[in-house]
Amino acid sequence: MSDDAILFSVDAGVARIKLNRPDRLNSFNDAMHAQLRQALDRVKTDTTVRVLLLTGSGRGFCAGQDLADRAVAPGGTGVDLGASIERNYMPLVLTLRALPLPVVCAVNGVAAGAGANIALACDIVIATQSASFIQAFCKIGLIPDSGGTYWLPRLVGTARAMGLALLGDKLSAEQAEAWGLIWKCVDDAQFESAVEQLVGQLAQAPTKGLAATKHAIYAAEGHLLDQQLAMEREVQRMLGNSEDYREGVAAFAGKRQPQFKGR
Ligand code: T3D
């Protein structure tokens, strides 16, 4: 096993981040947050990267905060969790949402606590059939953080959001797909190839257009129709000047496959 809390690589337009504390179900400690921040900084600035894949090592995706790092005990003093959220979880979620490229989360096993909600912060969530999602916070007296109270009602409606958050039951990947919490659940045997096919496709796609699409869809959550239409007009104006748009139209006319450059 590697000592690195994450594994990071960039190849053929795909940046890969693998959470790598499998003996702790890839739960977050400070080292993992720091290494993740560094990797995301590189993704932000490396113009060769056209898709980011986030996944986990071993049998789990991520079990949220490493509770072994929280030295609290009954009768003792509390801890300022707000400081941890401010320093680590908030910037992580906001960075994933803001990246100017598609972010795929491949949920390879259990995703619990902040682990579940960081998966939901990604643009496309694909899960292996044996994976599951657990809003574990209620079992330790906390609220769903890392965007949990924001994504859950939007993705599955208030009734299901409440059930998941207040009961902390395990939601299977299949049920998560059926409820619209995630994009897709794939048989365990096909999971790896499905993930590779997905990131391969996105790495060849018109990155600027995809980035603008994700940002427009997220912006729609706070817009009225006329505001959204105005936004679409402005974004389309910008994309009409992109190299990839010209290539897409030329490829269509020439009845050939487009060769997008992400510009
Ligand atoms: O603190 C702050 O900064 C505020 C932010 C908080 C964000 C949060 O994420 S709070 C929520 C924290 N997470 C949890 O409460 C989940 C805790 N884990 C579990 O409930 C279970 O492990 C799972 C349901 C995820 C999986 O269960 P199972 O039976 O498949 O595995 P297991 O046996 O419980 O776990 C395997 C090992 O990983 C085990 O270690 P051991 O006994 O083999 O030495 C277990 O202790 C360890 N582990 C799992 N989750 C965590 C963990 N160790 C530390 N922290 C964890 N979160």
CA of 59 to the centre of ligand 1 (A): 13
CA distances from 50 to 161, 199, 217, 243, 259 (A): 32, 9, 19, 15, 14
- Structure tokens given for 240: 């009409």
Kindly tell me if the per-residue pLDDT of 1 is higher than 50. Answer: no
CA of 25 to the centre of ligand 1 (A): 7
Query: Tens digit of pLDDT for each residue in 133-187?
Result: 999 999 999 999 999 999 999 999 999 999 999 999 999 999 999 999 999 999 9
CA of 131 to the centre of ligand 1 (A): 15
Query: Tens digit of pLDDT for each residue in 66-97?
Result: 999 988 888 888 889 999 999 999 999 999 99
Give ligand 1 pocket residues (Cβ under 6 A): 24-25, 27, 63-68, 70, 81, 84-85, 110, 112-114, 134, 136-137, 140, 142, 145
Distance of CA 101 to the CA centre of its chain: 12
Report, in angstroms and rounded to the nearest whole number, the Rg of the chain calculated over CA atoms.
19
Query: Tens digit of pLDDT for each residue in 207-249?
Result: 999 999 999 999 999 999 999 999 999 999 999 999 999 999 9
What is the structure's pLDDT at 2? 64
